Amino acid sequence: MLVLASQSPRRKEILTQAGIPFTIRVAAVDEAPLSAEAPEAYVQRLAEWKARAVPAGPGETVLGADTTVVVEKEMLAKPADAADARRMLAALSGRCHEVMTGICLKRGDTVIRDYAVTRVWFSPMSQAEIEAYVDSGEPTDKAGAYAIQGLASKYIERIDGCYFNVVGLPISLVYRHLKNLPAKQD
């Protein structure tokens, strides 16, 4: 059985759509980046911490995941408030950025860490468009303050990489590692 160490409704939806059965167990993890930590290391570390933070029974595989948005070498996590969301959206407007999701699969003593990167090109947004989008409430609880699958879709010019990674879980990467895990361990 797969245990998802996340409350993310997007991750739940992706696993459900992919037909992968799972249960949910969540533990609190400090998501603050370490000093001078690279985004790739950050998302993989948090994914592993999340996977290790929840209890797992015999034969269970725990999936931890964490997503961040990177623009001009700055990591954009979830916005603290509406002003922070406006700042993030202004930074993304008219530019290309990267979305990185780290994953960790833990079964017994086996731990697999990996990550996916997707490049996303944002159309320019006017101040009025940014305000309207922030007022919609959608940027709340989203890395980089936007949801590609929602109202922000009209600002996405193109992507290079996994769409589901931008939503919150690179499902093909997860599935590939699930298939390659050694036989169930207690």
Chain centroid to Cα 66, Å, comes to 4
For this structure, is 84 an active site residue? no
- How many other C-beta atoms lie within 10 A of the C-beta of residue 135? 11
Q: Which amino acid is at 159?
A: I
Options 66, 84, 135, 141, the catalytic residue: 66
d(CA 96, CA 101): 17
d(CA 76, CA 186): 38
For residue 14, give the nearest of 171, 166, 153 by alpha carbon: 171
Across 2-54, the runs of DSSP E, i.e. the strands, are 2-4, 22-24
Question: Catalytic residues, which ones?
Answer: 66
